[in-house]
Structure 1
Amino acid sequence: MKKHKHFHFSTGVIAYPLFFVLFIWVIFWAEVRFGFRLSKYGIYPQSLKGLRGVLFSPFIHGSIKHLAHNSVPLLVLSTALFYFYRSIAWKVLGYGILVSGFLTWCIGRPSYHIGASGLIYVLVSFIFFKGVFAKHYRLIALSLLVVFLYGSMIWYTMPIEKGISWEGHLSGLITGLLFAFIFKKSIAKPKKYVWEQPDYNEDDDPFLKHFDENGNFIEHIEPEVEEEQESIIISYSYKEQKNEEN
């Protein structure tokens, strides 16, 4: 398997999520600084004009508390996305915004739906289900970590608190699950060690030849190696001696 398909860290893993979150903060700063009212660019369900919110709503927040609550999970989850699923990270983010936003537009109440929480639910759902479907220990561990950190978010996919877009959360959850099926084969795999290869033969492993059957290190050199070294020395000495005679 090609190197880029394995898990490995690069500057983009943290840089892209960080710039993404900072961009949202810059938009909020500009809104406060210049007195813009961007809430009207959010998703307004069943309204043609409200469709523009499908694209803009993740970048609009109602308060600094709202933005702060979304920033940390967005940064953490998007970083995990770029590390473990680098080849499809931008697809998950881009299509996640569009699909979850459109679903919110379809099922939402007649009100403006804003904030990046819908995208956060896309990432939580995708990372969790993708790890389960992949049956890979690292990805399963990541899924369990996501459940531990953000498992309680499942309650907010139901109308339990006024003023929260549970429709956006539910849409994100459904979208993430859908993406876990669609991108089923697009996962990185770790490099296999030599003993994990199907054609591996323990008796032919040159490393294991340095140990006895009890696992003790064999300090002396193999006889065949000594003979090979000796033959080389003798051959060289004979040639050197022949040159001296001439």
Structure 2
Amino acid sequence: MDPTVVSPAPPTRSPAKRVIPPNPLLSAAVVAGFVALLFVVEGIDTALGGSLDHDGVIPRDFTEWDNILWAPVLHGGWEHLTGNALPLLVLGFLATSGGLKQFFQVTAVIWLTDGLGVWLAGSPGSHIGASGLIFGYLVFLLVRGVFARATAQVVVALAVFAVYGAMLWGVLPGQPGISWESHLFGALGGVLAAWGVARDHHRAAAA
């Protein structure tokens, strides 16, 4: 019997340097499902006369600390929600490139960092909306490519910055009715998530 030559398997892109999610359709469905949930919640809030708007993060109020868990799904009206929907879809989808498990972990880090930061240092009032998540995803995408030394991710991050970079001005105070604290702490959560992802990949590579 003649010997058989088996070609080596083609190299696969490291998860740390991946730009497109391993399962794009599933990732798109998950992110779109979350955005759809926001519309459902806003519909319920509208039916209740906007009463849910007062259930956001209330800084330094120990009786309302659990609002951290659902403040990002609440919005102050349809205009507020529709303004967040498209960037949330785009940035959320790109943030799934490391897989859905990593995406959920990144989202949890941003969600909690944002909520706890606003609870500790926010201005009085009810802080609601998914913009903290949006800022977190944006900064996560900008920073992770640098940590991973992934050229493709850096290029994508620059493209994202060209489109959404002006949003980063939202971390500065000055616009009445805008929770710049949520933007700021969401962005810090994005940095923390990017650092954690890079650390985990370095540990996995070393092992």
Same fold (TM over 0.5): yes
Contact 1:73 1:120 in 2 (8 A): yes
Post-superposition CA distance 1:185-229 (Å, at most 9, x none):
456xxxxxxxxxxxxxxxxxxxxxxxxxxxxxxxxxxxxxxxxxx
**Cα root mean square deviation, aligned:** 2.0
The one-letter amino acid of 2:168's match is: I
Contact 1:87 1:186 in 2 (8 A): no
Contact 1:88 1:186 in 2 (8 A): no
Check if 1:141 corresponds to 2:155: yes
Gaps of 5+ in 1: 188-246
Check if 1:56 corresponds to 2:97: no
Contact 1:131 1:139 in 2 (8 A): yes
Contact 1:42 1:52 in 2 (8 A): no
TM-score when scaled to structure 2?
A: 0.83
Percent identical pairs in the alignment equals 30
Post-superposition CA distance 1:145-169 (Å, at most 9, x none):
1211111111111112111000010
Please, which of 98, 103, 113 is the counterpart of residue 112 of structure 2? 98
1:135-174 matches, within 5 Å, as: 135-174=149-188
Larger radius of gyration: 1
Question: CA–CA distance in 2 between the matches of 1:3 and 1:136?
Answer: 11
Please, which of 145, 148, 173 is the counterpart of residue 131 of structure 1? 145
The residue number in structure 1 matching 2:42 is 28
CA distance 1:56–1:86, change in 2 (3 Å): closer
Question: CA–CA distance in 1 between the matches of 2:14 and 2:100?
Answer: 9
TM-score when scaled to structure 1?
A: 0.71
Question: CA–CA distance in 1 between the matches of 2:148 and 2:13?
Answer: 19
Gaps of 5+ in 2: 1-10, 202-207
| Structure having greater relative contact order (Cα 8 Å, sep ≥ 6) | 2
Contact 1:85 1:186 in 2 (8 A): no
Partner SS, residue 171 of structure 1: helix
**Runs of 4+ that moved beyond 2 A:** 1-11, 33-36, 83-87
Question: CA–CA distance in 1 between the matches of 2:61 and 2:48?
Answer: 28
Contact 1:40 1:112 in 2 (8 A): yes
Question: CA–CA distance in 1 between the matches of 2:48 and 2:58?
Answer: 24
Post-superposition CA distance 1:4-44 (Å, at most 9, x none):
94653432110000000000000101111343510121000
1:1-246 matches, within 5 Å, as: 5=15, 7=20, 8-35=22-49, 37-186=51-200
The one-letter amino acid of 1:81's match is: A
Question: CA–CA distance in 1 between the matches of 2:99 and 2:87?
Answer: 17
Question: CA–CA distance in 2 between the matches of 1:49 and 1:171?
Answer: 22
CA distance 1:151–1:3, change in 2 (3 Å): closer
Post-superposition CA distance 1:21-78 (Å, at most 9, x none):
0000001011113435101210000111231221111010011110001001111111
Question: CA–CA distance in 2 between the matches of 1:38 and 1:91?
Answer: 27
Contact 2:109 2:193 in 1 (8 A): no
Instruction: Identify the range of structure 1 (155-164 vs 31-40) with the bigger mean alpha-carbon deviation.
Output: 31-40
Contact 2:57 2:68 in 1 (8 A): yes
